[in-house]
């Protein structure tokens, strides 16, 4: 972990605060690439991931955090408790949403706070002279973080903003956007699950291959839990078997038995908790593993996924 200090804290949109983090000891922070995120250890129990959204060659890190009305402690801690000169521990940057290195045109879709990982991607694309288009959705202009910065850096015909309040609540017409997307384009999307699902579905509909569709989820998908049932997990290392009840997760069952796995989001988004699956059929409920990885049944996210088979054998 790296100890950093909050060097600046400003509001950059309604309910969105922007933090500048500098290393406490003046050392050089690890380099990062567009799409990367860091984890903030906010309290001993609260660890949250946020995308880096500042300039790529800066000597500090920048993040922007939306105050989530349903906050389980993360965003409200950042908004209410982190102040100028607050110290905190962060992880090194990790990138689960990388920009492809070819020169293909890039089309970005961002909704709300989903703009944060897109900002450095656009900076990189503009610097490389790549064909770049952004569709940016928010409810109102005052809720659109970094809008002015984008208006200054992007050509007007490359930036398409859609404010639902100005369209009588109507969402962006994604199928129409895809009429202008060529088959060699790479599409990047970040925002609420429904927005991501719509963009991905339209990308597939026009025949874009999966490697050209890139996404990062900020929120977990909703799953029907009424049919959840009890199952067993067995550990490879000790052979111990534990019962996961209908209303408990694998993670909490393991923790109840003093077996601790590193976690962050606890919603199936970040991938921090991924462990090996040796036997059994998982009921994958995360948005982290790809469809292929899910089908291979070699890994599982114990924070949210469950079992279809009676028992899962876990590689721990
Ligand atoms: S802790 Fe984030 S996916 Fe499990």
Same domain, 123 and 209: yes
Ligand 1 atom index nearest CA of 273 = 4
Q: Is 76 exposed, middle or buried (0-12, 13-18, 19+ CB in 10 A)?
A: middle
To test ligand 1's pocket by mutation, which of 37, 46, 216, 273 has the most ligand atoms within 8 angstroms of CB? Answer: 273
What is the pLDDT, as a whole number, of residue 221? 60
pLDDT tens-place string over residues 116-160:
999 999 999 999 999 999 999 999 999 999 999 999 999 999 999
End of a domain among 38, 65, 95?
Answer: 95
- Binding site membership of 49 for ligand 1 (Cβ less than 6 Å): no
Instruction: Find out whether 194 and 112 touch, Cβ atoms under 8 Å.
Output: no
135 and 64 housed in the same domain: no
6, exposed or middle or buried, with CB in 10 Å at 0-12, 13-18, 19+? Answer: middle
Asked whether residue 223 is domain-assigned, the answer is no
Residue 297 domain flag: yes
What pLDDT, on a 0 to 100 scale, did the predictor assign at position 45? 75
Q: Which of 34, 62, 95 is the last residue of a domain?
A: 95
ipTM over 0.90: yes
Is there an atom of ligand 1 within 6 Å of 273 CB? yes
Residues 35 and 80 in one domain: yes
- Rounded to the nearest 5 degrees, what angle is found at the Cα of 243, between the Cα atoms of 242 and 244? 115
Contact predicate 265/49, CB 8 Å: yes
Domain extent for 243: 231-314
Round to whole Å and give the CA distance between 285 and 304: 6
pLDDT at 116 (0 to 100): 96
Residue 143 maps to which CATH number?
3.40.50.80
Question: What mean pLDDT is predicted for residues 59-76?
Answer: 86
Q: Give the chain's end-to-end CA distance (angstroms, integer).
A: 24
- Can you give the pLDDT at residue 218? 64
**CATH no. for residue 29?**
2.40.30.10
CATH number of the structural domain spanning residue 261: 3.10.20.30
Is ligand 1 within 6 A of the CB of residue 202?
Answer: no
Instruction: Locate the ligand 1 atom nearest the alpha carbon of residue 49 and give its number.
Output: 2
272-314 pLDDT, tens digit per residue, is 899 999 999 999 998 888 778 899 999 999 999 999 999 999 9
pLDDT at 92 over 80: yes
Task: Give the pLDDT confidence score for residue 230 in this predicted structure.
Answer: 95
Average pLDDT estimate for 222-228 = 73
Residues 249 and 294 in one domain: yes
How sure is the predictor about 86, in pLDDT bands with cuts at 50, 70 and 90? very high
pLDDT score at 80: 94
Percent of the residues in the chain that have a pLDDT greater than 70, as a whole number:
97
Residues 177 and 270 in one domain: no
Residue 217 above 80 pLDDT?
Answer: no
User: Predicted confidence band at 177 (pLDDT cuts at 50, 70, 90)?
Assistant: very high
Q: Are residues 110 and 81 in the same domain?
A: no
Atom of ligand 1 nearest to the CA of 301: 4
The CA distances from residue 268 to 194, 222, 290, in Å, are 16, 11, 12
Which pLDDT band holds residue 22 (cuts at 50, 70, 90)? very high
- Number of folded domains in the chain? 3
Within a domain: 100: no
CB 5 within 8 A of CB 21: yes
Confirm whether 120 is domain-assigned: yes
Whether 268 lines ligand 1, by a CB cut-off of 6 Å, is: yes
Indicate if the pLDDT at residue 229 is higher than 80. Answer: yes
| Residue with CA closest to ligand 1 atom 3 | 268
- Lowest model confidence (mean pLDDT) among 133-142, 182-191, 261-270: 261-270
Are 164 and 173 within 8 A, CB to CB? no
Is 245 a domain residue? Answer: yes
Does residue 62 belong to any structural domain of this protein?
Answer: yes
Listed residue (139, 140, 48) closest to 90, CA to CA:
48
Kindly give the distance from the C-alpha atom of residue 96 to the centroid of ligand 1, in angstroms, as a whole number: 13
For residues 117 and 203, state if they share a domain.
yes
> Same domain for 115 and 200?
yes
From the CA of 251, give the closest atom in ligand 1.
4
Say if residue 64 is in the same domain as residue 10: yes
Among 74, 95, 116, which residue terminates a domain?
95
Give residue 223's pLDDT band: very low, low, confident or very high (50, 70, 90): low
């Amino acid at each position: 972990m790296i100890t950093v200090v909050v060097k600046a804290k400003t509001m950059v949109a309604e309910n969105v605060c922007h933090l500048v983090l500098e290393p406490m000891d003046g050392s050089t922070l690890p380099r990062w690439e567009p799409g990367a995120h860091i984890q903030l250890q906010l309290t001993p129990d609260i660890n949250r991931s946020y995308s880096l959204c500042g300039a790529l060659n800066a000597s500090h890190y920048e993040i922007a955090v939306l105050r989530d009305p349903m906050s389980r402690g993360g965003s409200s801690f950042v908004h209410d408790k982190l102040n100028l000169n607050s110290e905190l521990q962060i992880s090194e940057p990790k990138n689960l949403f990388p920009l492809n290195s070819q020169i293909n045109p890039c089309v970005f879709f961002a909704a709300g706070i989903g703009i944060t990982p897109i900002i450095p991607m656009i900076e990189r694309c503009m610097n490389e002279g790549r064909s770049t288009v952004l569709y940016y959705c928010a409810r109102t202009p005052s809720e659109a973080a970094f809008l002015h910065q984008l208006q200054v850096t992007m050509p007007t015909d490359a930036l398409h903003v859609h404010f639902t309040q100005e369209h009588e609540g109507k969402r962006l017409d994604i199928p129409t956007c895809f009429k202008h997307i060529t088959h060699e384009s790479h599409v990047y999307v970040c925002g609420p699950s429904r927005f991501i699902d719509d963009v991905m579905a339209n990308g597939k509909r026009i025949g874009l291959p999966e490697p050209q569709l890139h996404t990062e989820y900020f929120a977990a998908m909703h799953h029907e839990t009424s049919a959840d049932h009890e199952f067993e997990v067995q550990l490879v290392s000790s052979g111990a078997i534990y019962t996961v009840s209908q209303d408990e997760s694998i993670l909490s069952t393991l923790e109840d038995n003093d077996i601790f796995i590193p976690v962050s989001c606890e919603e199936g988004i970040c991938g921090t908790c991924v462990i090996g699956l040796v036997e059994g059929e998982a009921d994958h409920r995360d948005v982290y593993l790809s469809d292929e990885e899910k089908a291979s049944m070699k890994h599982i996210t114990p924070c949210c996924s469950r079992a279809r088979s009676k028992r899962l054998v876990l590689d721990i």
